[in-house]
């Protein structure tokens, strides 16, 4: 069951029955505050990682576009060389020549298709990376909560053991007081008998 920091902060527990075992309210509140603070820290870390992922993706896209620009320039130089060869062969070249229009259309289609492929790859990579980051953050958060619950359970069991030991010691002291009281009463009674006898 996913929890939000606000839900952890507002958690309330019933008080134990009179004479029953329970938890110290301030300790529980302090523990819940620590858990909520850690959840807030993890959420902030997730936002930072998501922002960094976006900036890195943009930098990678710019790099790819620069490479694509260089390829386009090389292709344009190759076309220019081809035009020069055609001119050298004294074949008149016209810009409205259907062959030239077909070459230009084919090149434009190739560039558009390649740009779409790169855009899809970038989106897929960003989606995968974001999913991984969210999954890792959720795993970290659940580990922290589980560790905190385990530590809390150990602390509570330690308190219960201390309480049991204290009750045992109180019982022993009560018995000792009763024995002393009986011994003192018997000693006083004996002295009174001696005095009156």
What's the average pLDDT block by block, 10 residues per block, for the chain (197 residues)? 70 71 75 83 83 69 81 82 70 61 78 83 82 83 84 82 89 93 91 83
Q: Which residues contact 22 (CB under 8 A, 6 or more apart)?
A: 15, 16
Q: Give the position of tokens 């390649």.
A: 114
Does residue 115 lie within any of the structural domains? yes
Does residue 73 lie within any of the structural domains? yes
Whether 107 contacts 75, CB under 8 Å:
yes
Does residue 171 lie within any of the structural domains? no
Q: Give the position of tokens 């050298």.
A: 88
Rounded Cα distance between 80 and 67, Å, is 20
Q: How many CA atoms lie within 13 A of 29 on its CB side?
A: 6
Q: How many CB atoms lie within 10 A of CB 141?
A: 19
Rounded Cα distance between 81 and 104, Å, is 15
Does residue 163 lie within any of the structural domains? no
Whether 38 contacts 10, CB under 8 Å:
no
Does residue 108 lie within any of the structural domains? yes
Does residue 173 lie within any of the structural domains? no
- Where in the sequence is the domain holding 130, given as residue range(s)? 5-12+25-148
Q: Cα dist. 185→28, 175, 191 in Å?
A: 48, 15, 10
* Global pTM value: 0.35
Instruction: Locate 182 and state its tokens.
Output: 């009986």
Does residue 103 lie within any of the structural domains? yes
Rounded Cα distance between 10 and 130, Å, is 30
Domain count within the chain: 1
Give me the count of residues in the chain: 197
Rounded Cα distance between 86 and 92, Å, is 8
> What pLDDT does residue 183 have?
92
> What pLDDT does residue 130 have?
80
Look up residue 96 and give its DSSP letter. Answer: T
Does residue 83 lie within any of the structural domains? yes
């Amino acid at each position: 069951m996913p929890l939000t920091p606000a839900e952890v902060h507002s958690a309330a527990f019933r008080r134990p029955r009179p004479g029953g075992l329970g938890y110290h309210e301030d300790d529980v509140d302090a523990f819940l505050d620590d858990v909520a603070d850690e959840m807030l820290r993890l959420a902030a870390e997730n936002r930072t990682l998501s922002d960094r992922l976006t900036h890195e993706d943009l930098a990678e896209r710019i790099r790819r576009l620069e490479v694509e620009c260089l390829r386009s320039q090389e292709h344009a130089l190759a076309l220019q060389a081809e035009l020069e060869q055609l001119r050298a062969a004294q074949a008149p070249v016209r810009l409205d020549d259907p062959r030239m229009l077909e070459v230009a259309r084919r090149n434009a289609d190739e560039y558009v298709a390649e740009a779409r492929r790169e855009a899809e790859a970038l989106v897929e990579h960003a989606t995968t990376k974001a999913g991984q980051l969210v999954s890792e953050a959720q795993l970290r958060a659940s580990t922290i909560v589980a560790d905190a619950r385990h530590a809390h359970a150990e602390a509570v069991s330690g308190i219960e053991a201390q309480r049991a030991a204290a009750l045992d010691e109180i019982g022993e002291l009560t018995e000792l007081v009763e024995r002393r009281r009986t011994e003192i009463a018997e000693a006083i009674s004996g002295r009174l008998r001696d005095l009156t006898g």
